[in-house]
Amino acid sequence: MNTRKPARPFRSREWFADPNRSDMTAVYLERFMNYGVTPEELRSGRPIIGIAQSGSDLSPCNRGHVELAKRVRDGIRDAGGIPMEFPVHPIFENCRRPTAALDRNLSYLTLVEILHGYPIDAVVLTTGCDKTTPASIMAASTTDVPAIVLSGGPMLDGWFEGELVGSGTVIWKSRRRLAAGEITEEQFINTAAASAPSIGHCNTMGTASTMNAVAETLGLSLPGCSAIPAAYRERPQMAYETGKRIVEMAYEDLRPSKILTREAFLDAIALIALIGGSTNAQPHITAMARHAGVEITARDWVDHGYALPLILNMQPAGQYLGERFHRAGGVPAILWELEKAGKMHSDRINVSGKKFSETLKGRQSPDREMIYSFDQPLQEDAGFVVLSGNLFDFAIMKTSVISDEFRTRYMKTPNDEDSFEGIAVVFDSAEDYHANINDPSLNITEKSILVIRGAGAVSWPGAAEVVNMQPPDRLLKLGINALPVIGDGRQSGTSDSPAILHASPESAVGGGLSWLRSGDLIRVDLKKRSCNAIVAPEVIEQRKKEPLPPMPASQTPWQEIFRDHVGSLSEGGCLENAVKYRGV
């Protein structure tokens, strides 16, 4: 018999040890014995620890968890818990059509139902590929059972012909080189394959590495967890420690609501600037905060996320990849800099049960070419710029990926360093863009601004990752690698495109992009954080009376349900009726 007393009675007791319902208890116990677990174990008063398994053949980025879970189980058993592994809905970023973002909220919903409806006292969330991390954290907040994040870790660094090639980032670069006639299709495929040399998620600071770093910064994984490469021996060791720790957390009743404070989210927002994190972090952090009952506004990205330096030299904003990030100290070394600069809320606890001020001690990076100091960074003011104007109430632009070529061409004009203007060329969808970008009659020049609409959460259910549109082949051959782009969709976290993204409200619900026409002049001022089409108000009113751009029909029941309930990207792209639920 287990004599340890939990801080709050384990909920699994209601299933297996309810003194008033021995008839039901027998029914609940009966089928779990199928794999050899005994009634004595289940009734012993030990916590039942769920392992939310996100790896599968359909989720190759997370597939390492299938093996790792064995070490998690060992840790759980050694600490006196009973492991129960179960599958979560797969979300594979590259392959899910129409887009993996559609399934963040579906995976969230199904995990909520599992955590709510089964005898689980605490849970290990196995994360990796982009949306698997926010989906599971959102579910942990809604149910508020003790939860710990175990990242699967990035792939090993990719090398091709003596150069580092990072997943995703190399695809965008190779696409431009292919279009400019610099490489063959075979070279393109060989480079892409070389960028993904082992198990693990993307090895760049794309959405996967960003969101796992965010989870660690929020305090949801053990210090140092997120950056350990999937193939390193420390990864299964971390899995074992995570399994042990979640059992203690079950006894301590250390729930997400005690960790996910407003300060935790503000530190996560600050982290994004320091690491040159993915633009997808904006809707995901907003969504996780809302599900945790924490208010995060557009203003918070301006006040707590912009005027901070880029200190991590990792692709796409920098040079290196995940292995070197881990060896340079990983997330603790980044947060060490933030704390030393007096900008970290280090008085809060993480899942270790200790305060960050304690767990960050001695974590200064030994590798100053990978992690720069806060005072001598790679770039100042490296966070997202939040823009608004007559085309949208909210959009973001990632400044750390604006190339020197782009700055020189567009932003270093004699009059103003940070403003530019151009003539809109409007595409109605990703299909429209791909079919027509090389059409000479569109007359796209270096004075053009490419605009894509019909790519938001409603119109392309989930929001398409298409805003990183590349210029027509003709301009690429002239060495013009990027035009300014604006869209109501998203872009890949591995993209190095200077894009204005997540324009909210989106065109499908009548947002400003819906009345924009090719040929309109657009003016962007990053200092004033404004973006406007120079169109007379009466003309705008007239255009608003015309029908909205067409939207494709839903292809599945979930797409229809999603479209009926999803909010804007500025609000996290949540199911709006879901955010009010908190606590099982």
Mapped onto helix, strand or coil, the DSSP state of residue 398 is strand
Instruction: Pick from 201, 245, 291, 324 the residue near ligand FES by CB under 6 A.
Output: 201
β-sheet bridge partners, residue 154: 201
61 binds, among ligand FES, Mg ion, none (CB under 5 to 8 A by kind): ligand FES
**Residues 413, 367: Cα–Cα separation, whole Å:** 37
Residue 466 contacts which entry, ligand FES, Mg ion, none (Cβ below 5-8 A, type-dependent): none
Helices 185-194 & 169-179 angle (0-180, nearest 10)? 170
Q: Of the two residues 196 and 457, which places its CB atom closer to ligand FES in the complex?
A: 196
Q: What is the CA radius of gyration of the chain?
A: 24
d(C-alpha 520, C-alpha 390), whole Å = 13
The residue among 122, 120, 78 whose CA lies nearest residue 250 is 122
Which of the choices Mg ion, ligand FES, none does residue 94 contact, using the CB cut-off of 5 to 8 A by kind? ligand FES
* Residue 203 touches which member of Mg ion, ligand FES, none, C-beta under 5-8 Å by kind: none
Among 129, 215, 247, 467, binds ligand FES (CB under 6 A): 129
Cβ burial of 523 (10 Å; 0-12, 13-18, 19+) is middle
**Cβ-proximal residues to 401 (8 Å cutoff; 6+ apart), any chain:** 276, 316, 317, 495, 496, 497, 498
Partner from ligand FES, Mg ion, none contacting 492, C-beta within 5 to 8 A by type: Mg ion
Q: How far apart are CA 239 and CA 253, in angstroms?
A: 20
Choose which of 127, 468, 492, 497 interacts with Mg ion (CB under 5 A): 492
Residue nearest to Mg ion (CB): 492
Q: One symbol per residue from 433 to 472: x for binding Mg ion (CB under 5 A), - otherwise; what is it?
A: ----------------------------------------
The 82-101 site mask, x for binding Mg ion (CB under 5 A), equals: -----------x--------
Please tell me whether residue 206 binds ligand FES under the rule CB under 6 A.
yes
Between β-strands 419-427 and 394-398, what pairing exists: parallel, antiparallel or unpaired?
Answer: unpaired
Least gap, CB of 279 to Mg ion (angstroms): 10
Residue from the set 208, 247, 272, 401 that interacts with ligand FES by CB under 6 A: 208
Q: Is 169 in the site for Mg ion (CB under 5 A)?
A: no
E-strand stretches of 95-213 = 122-127, 147-151, 159-160, 163-164
CA 461 to chain centroid, in Å, comes to: 17
If phi over 0 gives left and psi between -120 and 50 gives alpha, with beta otherwise, what is residue 470?
beta
Q: If contact means CB under 5 to 8 A according to the sort of partner, which of Mg ion, ligand FES, none does residue 201 touch?
A: ligand FES
User: Residue 177 is encoded by which pair of tokens?
Assistant: 């080189």
Judged by beta carbon, residue 59 or residue 504, the one nearer ligand FES is 59
- Residue number, 61 or 249, with CB nearest to ligand FES: 61
Nearest to 111 by CA among 86, 85, 88, 134: 88
Q: What part of residues 65-94 is at the interface with ligand FES (CB under 6 A)?
A: 93-94
Contacts with ligand FES in 92-111 (CB under 6 A)?
Answer: 93-94
| Interacting span for ligand FES (CB under 6 A) from 9-17, 198-206, 389-397, 505-513 | 198-206
Which one, 101 or 238, has the nearer CB to Mg ion? Answer: 101
User: Residue numbers of the site for ligand FES (CB under 6 A)?
Assistant: 61, 93-94, 129-130, 167, 201-202, 206, 208
